[in-house]
Amino acid sequence: MFAGAAFYILVAEQPARLALADAPLLRHWQESYPRAARMQAGLAVLASLVGVLAFWRMRHPLWLAGAALMLANLPFTLIVIAPVNDALLALGPEQAGAASRALIERWAALHAVRAGLSVLAIAAFALAIARGGESHSALRK
Enumerate the domain spans of the chain.
2-133
Mean pLDDT of 3-28: 94
Chain centre to alpha carbon of residue 118: 6
Mean pLDDT of 70-97: 95
Q: With a cut of 70, say whether residue 107 has pLDDT above it.
A: yes
pLDDT confidence tier of residue 141, bands split at 50, 70 and 90:
very low
**What are the two backbone dihedrals, phi and then psi, of residue 132, each rounded to the nearest 5 degrees?**
65, -140
117-134: per-residue pLDDT in tens? 999 999 999 999 998 755
pLDDT confidence tier of residue 61, bands split at 50, 70 and 90:
very high
Return the ∠ at Cα 12 (arms to 32 and 39), rounded to 5°: 40
Return the ∠ at Cα 82 (arms to 79 and 88), rounded to 5°: 155
pLDDT confidence tier of residue 38, bands split at 50, 70 and 90:
confident
Distance CA 116, CA 34 (A): 21
